[in-house]
Chain A
Amino acid sequence: DTEVTQTPKHLVMGMTNKKSLKCEQHMGHRAMYWYKQKAKKPPELMFVYSYEKLSINESVPSRFSPECPNSSLLNLHLHALQPEDSALYLCASSQESRLTNEKLFFGSGTQLSVL
């Protein structure tokens, strides 16, 4: 299994809603990532978890709250979002490797629309 699975694939939410994005991998990877991608732009890093601990937060607003309940799961909790937060949210994972061939595996993303 070399897949990163993201659910839901599409999400529409109002500015007062609370929703969560889910990401799952069963490759034994110990780093997991959230990226945000606006239309026609490259992905931008939001958060990195390493061994279930938050290692990087790219100054993301607190209305985005990541959670890593175990080594296979990564959630992104959303609350009080703004329309400009509408984007494709990508999850990725990677394995620590002393063979120096570490690469990121990405999910297909959740297309989020905030109304």
Chain B
Amino acid sequence: DAKTTQPPSMDCAEGRAANLPCNHSTISGNEYVYWYRQIHSQGPQYIIHGLKNNETNEMASLIITEDRKSSTLILPHATLRDTAVYYCIVRVILIGSNFGNEKLTFGTGTRLTIIP
């Protein structure tokens, strides 16, 4: 899987949009961009993923650049409960006989702190 680079920490004011960048310059054409977050003392939680197009769900939006070498996770109205470590991961989705043979590798992530 391609490696990702994220800033180690960021602050964001409560109620504002939090924009978390991720560089993945060596991403392959069949690798998806996934975002997970981990709130203190809990397991990681899936947020969103995408391949080429921008994606939006009830938690966040994912903007992927046209060359796919970077992406941004957007939390539109950050709350104190969004304080967490956010991980950007690129991975191939394996199906069929290759299912279960992938190593989902976490990078160091971005520690996002929401300021009241």
A residues apposed to B, CB below 8 Å: 4, 30-31, 33, 42-45, 48-51, 55-56, 58, 88, 90, 92, 96-98, 100-109, 111
Instruction: Compute how far the CA of A97 lies from the CA of B32 in the bound complex, rounded to whole angstroms.
Output: 14
- Chain A proximity of B74: nearest CB distance (Å): 19
Q: List 20 A-B contacts (CB under 8 A).
A: A30-B99, A31-B99, A33-B104, A42-B87, A42-B107, A42-B109, A43-B106, A45-B103, A48-B103, A50-B99, A50-B101, A90-B44, A96-B95, A96-B99, A97-B95, A100-B51, A102-B93, A109-B41, A109-B42, A109-B43
Q: Nearest CB to that of A9 among chain B residues? A: B41
Pick the residue among B36, B46, B105 that contacts A45 (CB under 8 A). B105
- Chain B proximity of A89: nearest CB distance (Å): 10
Residue B100 at the chain A interface, CB threshold 8 Å: yes
What's the count of A-B pairs with C-beta under 8 Å?
70
Q: Are B101 and A55 in contact (CB under 8 A)?
A: yes
Interface string of B81-105 (1 = CB under 8 A from A): 0000001000001011001111111
Residue B49 at the chain A interface, CB threshold 8 Å: yes
Q: Are B32 and A107 in contact (CB under 8 A)?
A: no
User: Known: A50-B100, A55-B101. Is A104-B46 also a contact (CB below 8 A)?
Assistant: yes
User: Known: A30-B100, A42-B87, A50-B100. Is A100-B42 also a contact (CB below 8 A)?
Assistant: no
Residue B45 at the chain A interface, CB threshold 8 Å: yes
